[in-house]
Amino acid sequence: MSKEESNQDTFYDSRGAYEQFLDEVIGTEVVWGLSDGENWAICDSEDFDEREVIPFWSNEKHAARLCVGEWSVYKPTAIRFDDFVDAWLHGMNEDQVLAGVNWDEDLNGAEIEPILLIDDLLEGE
Protein backbone atom coordinates (compact mmCIF):
# COMPACT_ATOMS: atom_id res chain seq x y z
CA MET A 1 0.00 0.00 0.00
CA SER A 2 1.36 3.41 -0.94
CA LYS A 3 1.65 6.23 1.58
CA GLU A 4 -1.10 8.10 -0.28
CA GLU A 5 -3.46 5.12 0.04
CA SER A 6 -2.58 4.82 3.73
CA ASN A 7 -3.33 8.51 4.29
CA GLN A 8 -6.68 8.12 2.55
CA ASP A 9 -7.56 5.16 4.77
CA THR A 10 -6.68 7.17 7.85
CA PHE A 11 -8.74 10.10 6.63
CA TYR A 12 -11.80 7.96 6.04
CA ASP A 13 -11.44 6.17 9.36
CA SER A 14 -11.09 9.50 11.16
CA ARG A 15 -14.06 10.93 9.31
CA GLY A 16 -16.20 7.91 10.20
CA ALA A 17 -15.16 8.18 13.85
CA TYR A 18 -16.02 11.88 13.75
CA GLU A 19 -19.47 11.21 12.31
CA GLN A 20 -20.04 8.52 14.96
CA PHE A 21 -19.01 11.01 17.64
CA LEU A 22 -21.50 13.61 16.39
CA ASP A 23 -24.36 11.10 16.09
CA GLU A 24 -23.84 9.51 19.51
CA VAL A 25 -23.20 12.74 21.41
CA ILE A 26 -26.24 14.43 19.92
CA GLY A 27 -28.32 11.35 20.75
CA THR A 28 -27.12 10.80 24.32
CA GLU A 29 -26.20 14.41 25.20
CA VAL A 30 -23.08 13.08 26.94
CA VAL A 31 -19.41 13.39 26.02
CA TRP A 32 -16.67 11.30 27.65
CA GLY A 33 -13.21 12.50 28.62
CA LEU A 34 -10.47 10.98 30.75
CA SER A 35 -9.92 12.41 34.21
CA ASP A 36 -7.97 11.42 37.31
CA GLY A 37 -10.34 13.46 39.47
CA GLU A 38 -8.30 16.65 39.22
CA ASN A 39 -6.74 16.69 35.76
CA TRP A 40 -7.86 15.72 32.29
CA ALA A 41 -5.86 13.74 29.76
CA ILE A 42 -4.15 16.03 27.26
CA CYS A 43 -1.37 15.53 24.74
CA ASP A 44 0.56 17.30 22.01
CA SER A 45 -1.02 17.58 18.59
CA GLU A 46 0.25 15.27 15.87
CA ASP A 47 -1.02 17.63 13.17
CA PHE A 48 -0.21 21.12 14.46
CA ASP A 49 3.04 22.35 16.01
CA GLU A 50 2.81 24.00 19.42
CA ARG A 51 -0.82 22.92 19.94
CA GLU A 52 -2.33 20.61 22.56
CA VAL A 53 -5.30 18.31 22.21
CA ILE A 54 -7.85 17.11 24.74
CA PRO A 55 -9.36 13.82 23.56
CA PHE A 56 -13.08 13.08 23.89
CA TRP A 57 -15.25 10.08 23.06
CA SER A 58 -18.90 9.53 22.33
CA ASN A 59 -19.23 6.61 24.73
CA GLU A 60 -17.68 5.29 27.91
CA LYS A 61 -16.51 2.02 26.37
CA HIS A 62 -14.35 3.75 23.75
CA ALA A 63 -12.88 6.12 26.34
CA ALA A 64 -12.05 3.23 28.69
CA ARG A 65 -9.87 1.56 26.04
CA LEU A 66 -7.33 4.36 26.48
CA CYS A 67 -6.98 3.96 30.27
CA VAL A 68 -3.84 1.86 29.98
CA GLY A 69 -0.11 2.40 30.31
CA GLU A 70 0.74 6.03 30.82
CA TRP A 71 -2.96 6.89 30.96
CA SER A 72 -3.92 4.18 33.46
CA VAL A 73 -4.37 6.90 36.12
CA TYR A 74 -7.39 8.22 34.22
CA LYS A 75 -10.99 7.02 34.22
CA PRO A 76 -13.78 7.76 31.74
CA THR A 77 -15.67 10.78 33.00
CA ALA A 78 -18.99 12.02 31.64
CA ILE A 79 -19.50 15.63 30.58
CA ARG A 80 -23.01 16.94 29.92
CA PHE A 81 -23.59 18.15 26.36
CA ASP A 82 -24.46 21.72 27.42
CA ASP A 83 -21.34 21.98 29.61
CA PHE A 84 -19.21 20.54 26.82
CA VAL A 85 -20.40 23.11 24.28
CA ASP A 86 -20.79 26.15 26.54
CA ALA A 87 -17.80 25.79 28.85
CA TRP A 88 -15.36 23.25 27.46
CA LEU A 89 -15.30 24.02 23.75
CA HIS A 90 -15.54 27.80 24.13
CA GLY A 91 -12.72 27.74 26.70
CA MET A 92 -10.61 25.45 24.54
CA ASN A 93 -11.12 27.77 21.59
CA GLU A 94 -9.89 30.74 23.65
CA ASP A 95 -6.87 28.70 24.81
CA GLN A 96 -6.23 27.40 21.26
CA VAL A 97 -6.50 23.78 22.42
CA LEU A 98 -7.83 21.27 19.88
CA ALA A 99 -10.46 18.57 20.46
CA GLY A 100 -9.52 14.98 19.69
CA VAL A 101 -12.56 12.98 18.64
CA ASN A 102 -13.14 9.23 19.16
CA TRP A 103 -9.45 8.35 19.01
CA ASP A 104 -8.35 4.74 18.83
CA GLU A 105 -5.94 3.02 21.22
CA ASP A 106 -2.94 4.41 19.31
CA LEU A 107 -4.23 7.99 19.67
CA ASN A 108 -5.14 8.10 15.98
CA GLY A 109 -8.07 10.23 14.99
CA ALA A 110 -9.35 13.64 14.12
CA GLU A 111 -8.05 16.81 15.74
CA ILE A 112 -10.73 19.48 15.42
CA GLU A 113 -10.81 23.19 16.11
CA PRO A 114 -13.33 23.58 18.98
CA ILE A 115 -15.35 26.24 17.14
CA LEU A 116 -15.88 23.86 14.20
CA LEU A 117 -16.97 21.10 16.57
CA ILE A 118 -19.48 23.47 18.19
CA ASP A 119 -20.94 24.27 14.77
CA ASP A 120 -21.22 20.59 13.81
CA LEU A 121 -22.80 19.60 17.13
CA LEU A 122 -25.36 22.41 17.12
CA GLU A 123 -26.16 21.91 13.44
CA GLY A 124 -26.93 18.24 14.13
CA GLU A 125 -29.26 18.89 17.08
What pLDDT, in 10s, does the model give residues 69-125? Answer: 999 999 999 999 999 999 999 999 999 999 999 999 888 889 999 999 999 999 977
Alpha-carbon torsion angle 96, 112, 51, 31, nearest 10: 80
| d(C-alpha 32, C-alpha 6), whole Å | 29
Into how many domains does the chain fold?
A: 1
Give the model's confidence band at 47: pLDDT under 50 very low, under 70 low, under 90 confident, else very high: confident
Domain that includes residue 22, residue range: 3-124
Q: Residue 3 pLDDT > 50, yes or no?
A: no
| d(C-alpha 16, C-alpha 12), whole Å | 6
More reliable by pLDDT, 106 or 33: 33
Taken in order 44, 47, 12, 93, the sign of the CA dihedral is: positive
Give pLDDT, residue 7.
Answer: 41
Q: Please tell me the pTM assigned to this model.
A: 0.87
Q: Residue 5 pLDDT > 90, yes or no?
A: no
Q: Residue 38 pLDDT > 70, yes or no?
A: yes
Tens-place pLDDT, residues 52-70: 999 999 999 999 999 999 9
